[in-house]
C-alpha cells in the first residue's frame, strides 16, 4: 500500500481538472475559502458554513473508522494520491465536504443576495460533482463511497437547516459558548475510534474540530465586545463589484492568509517543541508525533489558534490598515 504506481497521463485537461477539484476537499481549500467568506462576504454565512462543515466532517470521519470499508484495490485501480490511502473508504469525506460547503453557501446566501437561484443551485451542484468525480478519477473511492458521502451530507444539511438560526444565536450569545466550544471538541478528539494501525483520520478530525473551536470562540468574542466593528456589513464587497472593491477584497485576503499561515507555522513549531520536551522525542520523530498524547494537543492547539486568529486578529488588522 505504500508503493506508488507508475502511470501515463493521456488527457491533461481531465488530469489537472480533477487534481484541482480534489484539492477542494483538502486543507488548502478550507484554510483559504472559509476565512475568505468571513473577511469578504458575510459573517453569518461564514458561521453557518463552518458549523455545518465541522459537524458533517466529524460524522464522516468517524463513520469511516467504524464501518472500515476498504478503498478500491490497486491494481486494477491506479491511485493518484497516497496520503489518504491508509484511511478507509466509506463514506467519501471529500464528497461530504464539497456537498456541505457548496450547498450551505448557496442556502445561506440565496435570501441575502440578489442572484438567479437557478445559477446558484447549478454552481453548487457542479462544484460538488467535480469533487465527487475527482475521487473516482484519482482512484481513491468507489462510486458507492462517493454517493454515500454526498447523500449523508445532504441528509445532515436537511436536518441541520431548521436549527441554523438557533445554533447561531447560541454561539453568539451563550456565556457557555467558549467553554463548550473547547471542551466538547477536545473530548471528541481524545475519544476518537481506535484502529489497529495509524490512520490520518484522527489527526484530520482534530484539525477540523480545532479550527472550528477557535473560530467559534472568535465569533463569540466579536459579538460580545466588538459587535459594531464586526457586524458583517463592513466587510462585504459592494455589488456590483468595482475596481476599488476588488482591490480591497484581494488586500484583505492576502493580508489575512499571510497572518493565518504564519500563525500555523509558529504554533506548530512552539507546540511541537513543548510536547517534544515533555515527552522526550526529537521533532523529526514521525512515530512520536502520531501518538494520541502528542497528535491531539499539537493539532488542536495549532488549528484552534488559526481559527481564532482568522476571526479576531485578522479583522482587527484589517481595521488598523483601513481595509474594512
Determine the pLDDT at residue 301: 93
CA separation for the pair 183, 168 (Å, rounded): 18
Q: Would the pLDDT of 147 be above 50?
A: yes
CA separation for the pair 130, 258 (Å, rounded): 28
Top mean pLDDT of 17-26, 69-78, 311-320 is at: 311-320
Looking at 43, 94, 223, 318, which residue is catalytic?
A: 94
Looking at 141, 169, 223, 318, which residue is catalytic?
A: 141
Q: Would the pLDDT of 133 be above 90?
A: no
C-alpha torsion sign, points 191, 193, 198, 199: negative
Burial of 84 (0-12, 13-18, 19+ CB in 10 A): buried
* Residue 94: active-site member: yes
Average pLDDT over residues 153-158: 92
Average pLDDT over residues 268-282: 87
Neighbours of 188 (CB within 10 A): 14
3-state secondary structure of 319: helix
Determine the pLDDT at residue 83: 64
3-state secondary structure of 69: coil
Mean pLDDT taken over the chain = 83
| pLDDT tens digits along 285-304 | 788 888 888 888 999 999 99
Give 18's pLDDT tier (boundaries 50, 70, 90). Answer: confident
Quote the crossing angle between the two packed helices 143-160 and 43-67, to the nearest 10°.
130
Q: Give the closest residue to 46 by CA, choosing from 56, 38, 58, 54.
A: 38
Amino acid at each position: 500500500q505504500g508503493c506508488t504506481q507508475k502511470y501515463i497521463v493521456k488527457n491533461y485537461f481531465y488530469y489537472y481538472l480533477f487534481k484541482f477539484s480534489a484539492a477542494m476537499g483538502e486543507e488548502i481549500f478550507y484554510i483559504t475559502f472559509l476565512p475568505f467568506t468571513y473577511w469578504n462576504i458575510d459573517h453569518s454565512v461564514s458561521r453557518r458554513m463552518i458549523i455545518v462543515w465541522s459537524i458533517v466532517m466529524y460524522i464522516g470521519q468517524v463513520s469511516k473508522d467504524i464501518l472500515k470499508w476498504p478503498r478500491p484495490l490497486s491494481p486494477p485501480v491506479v491511485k493518484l494520491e497516497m496520503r489518504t490511502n491508509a484511511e478507509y473508504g466509506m463514506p467519501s469525506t471529500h464528497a461530504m465536504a464539497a456537498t456541505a460547503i457548496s450547498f450551505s453557501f448557496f442556502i445561506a446566501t440565496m435570501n441575502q443576495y440578489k442572484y438567479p437561484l437557478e445559477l446558484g443551485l447549478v454552481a453548487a451542484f457542479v462544484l460538488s460533482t467535480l469533487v465527487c468525480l475527482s475521487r473516482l478519477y484519482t482512484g481513491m473511492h468507489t462510486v458507492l463511497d462517493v454517493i454515500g458521502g454526498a447523500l449523508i451530507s445532504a441528509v445532515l444539511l436537511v436536518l441541520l437547516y431548521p436549527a441554523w438560526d438557533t445554533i447561531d444565536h447560541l454561539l453568539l450569545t451563550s456565556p457557555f459558548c467558549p467553554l463548550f466550544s473547547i471542551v466538547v471538541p477536545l473530548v471528541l478528539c481524545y475519544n476518537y475510534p481506535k484502529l489497529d494501525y495509524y490512520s490520518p483520520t484522527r489527526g484530520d478530525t482534530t484539525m477540523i474540530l480545532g479550527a472550528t473551536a477557535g473560530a467559534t470562540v472568535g465569533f463569540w468574542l466579536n459579538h460580545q465586545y466588538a459587535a459594531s466593528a464586526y457586524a458583517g456589513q463592513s466587510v462585504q464587497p459592494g455589488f456590483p463589484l468595482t475596481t476599488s472593491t476588488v482591490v480591497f477584497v484581494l488586500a484583505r485576503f492576502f493580508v489575512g492568509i499571510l497572518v493565518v499561515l504564519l500563525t500555523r507555522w509558529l504554533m506548530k513549531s512552539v507546540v511541537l517543541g513543548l510536547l517534544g520536551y515533555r515527552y522526550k522525542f526529537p521533532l523529526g520523530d514521525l512515530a512520536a508525533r502520531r501518538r494520541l498524547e502528542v497528535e491531539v494537543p499539537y493539532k488542536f492547539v495549532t488549528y484552534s489558534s488559526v481559527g481564532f486568529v482568522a476571526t479576531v486578529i485578522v479583522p482587527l488588522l484589517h481595521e488598523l490598515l483601513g481595509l474594512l
